Amino acid sequence: MATLIPIERYIAAFPASPLGAWADAAPWALTSNSEAIVRALLATLPVRDYMLADEVAVHRSAVVEDGAVLKGPLILGPHCFVAAGAYLRGGNWVDAHCAFGPGVEVKSSFVFAGSKFAHFNFVGDSLIGAGVNLEAGSIVCNYRNELVDKEINVRIDGAPHRTGVKKFGALIGDGVRLGANAVVAPGALLAPGTVLQRAALLDQGF
């Protein structure tokens, strides 16, 4: 299954990143094991560059406002910004120069450099490429609440594939733009540069 979705086609920096050791894993395998993966990466961090407490590592150049909630395991990279009211939980790895505005919740996700979540966004169990921008209120869903069978399925080259997991949001390529109040349904694969218009629904499920 992993060979069906080469992650580097969506996120160019993936192979050379700290996550490169998992380059052969399926995206949903990464997010399902995010806590273990982040814990493994925590053990490799240069202690002098990070403030570390309760499995939360914050780079010394990052800015975290009072009122933000950071739950481990978590790695927050250089020059990131986390606003008051943001909530990061469930095992997250965040690359450099990322921003999380007020009311943003991110769960069990891997976020690459320069991506920005404006405010009042939810992103669950997802891989987010570099330079991705989420306007206010856009959501990446991770659970098929409306279905009896909760297993997430994806389409690869138009063909259906089962993931074996009940929670997976999306693989979002570099430079993707989600307009305000747009919704991405579970199991989406967004090619680099995709633009989703404001208030749009993207549902690639079956």
pLDDT band at 205 (very low <50, low <70, confident <90, very high): confident
pLDDT at res. 3: 53
Q: Residues 195, 116, 49, 108: what is their CA dihedral angle, to the nearest 10 degrees?
A: -80
pLDDT band at 2 (very low <50, low <70, confident <90, very high): very low
Give the chain's domains with CATH numbers.
Answer: 2-202 (2.160.10.10)
Give pLDDT tens digits for 77-100. 999 999 999 999 999 999 999 999
CA distances from 127 to 5, 110, 153, 170 (A): 13, 5, 16, 6
Phi-psi group of 116: left, alpha or beta (phi > 0 → left; psi -120 to 50 → alpha; rest → beta) = beta
Give pLDDT tens digits for 126-168. 999 999 999 999 999 999 999 899 999 999 988 889 999 999 9
> Which residues are identified as catalytic?
119
User: Which contacts (CB < 8 Å, 24+ apart) does range 117-121 have?
Assistant: 119/83
pTM comes to: 0.97
φ, ψ of residue 51 to 5 degrees: the values are -95, 125
